[in-house]
Amino acid sequence: NAGVTQTPKFRVLKTGQSMTLLCAQDMNHEYMYWYRQDPGMGLRLIHYSVGEGTTAKGEVPDGYNVSRLKKQNFLLGLESAAPSQTSVYFCASSYRNGPLHFGNGTRLTVT
């Protein structure tokens, strides 16, 4: 039982490049979330999904897109990376409105 798995663990991008972060959960959770963590700012919600095929915007959605084609996977895309998107990205999943279970993060640097 792996829980929430994020790939890759680290990535360096140049400004303007695109990439996709993958999150997979094996707990059969309905809800999935993407957060970013920046020093002194805690975790901020980017996008979330309450079920397969549905997504919604969180607090800081600009510059990101998401897709949930399968219940167990939630993808986060950066269309044109900017230095302001340098951050640690965490995926989480939960039962409906239940406590969040987090992955170990993807550390992204945009130069």
Partner 1 sequence: GQQLNQSPQSMFIQEGEDVSMNCTSSSIFNTWLWYKQDPGEGPVLLIALYKAGELTSNGRLTAQFGITRKDSFLNISASIPSDVGIYFCAGPGTTSGTYKYIFGTGTRLKVLA
Can you give the binding site for partner 1, defined by CB under 8 A?
4, 31, 33, 35, 40-45, 48, 50, 56, 58-59, 90, 92, 97, 99-105
Nearer to partner 1, 17 or 86 (CB): 86
Nearer to partner 1, 67 or 101 (CB): 101
Nearer to partner 1, 69 or 99 (CB): 99
Q: State the nearest-atom distance from the C-beta of 12 to partner 1, in Å.
A: 17
Judge contact between 29 and 94, C-beta under 8 A: yes
> What residue has token string 């829980």?
3
Q: State the nearest-atom distance from the C-beta of 64 to partner 1, in Å.
A: 15
| Residue 2 vs residues 6, 73, 100, 104: alpha-carbon distances, Å | 11, 13, 15, 11
The sign of the dihedral angle between the CA atoms of 19, 5, 60, 82 is negative
Q: Are strands 64-67 and 54-57 parallel, antiparallel or unpaired?
A: unpaired
Largest CA distance in the chain: 38
Q: State the nearest-atom distance from the C-beta of 37 to partner 1, in Å.
A: 9
Nearer to partner 1, 74 or 90 (CB): 90
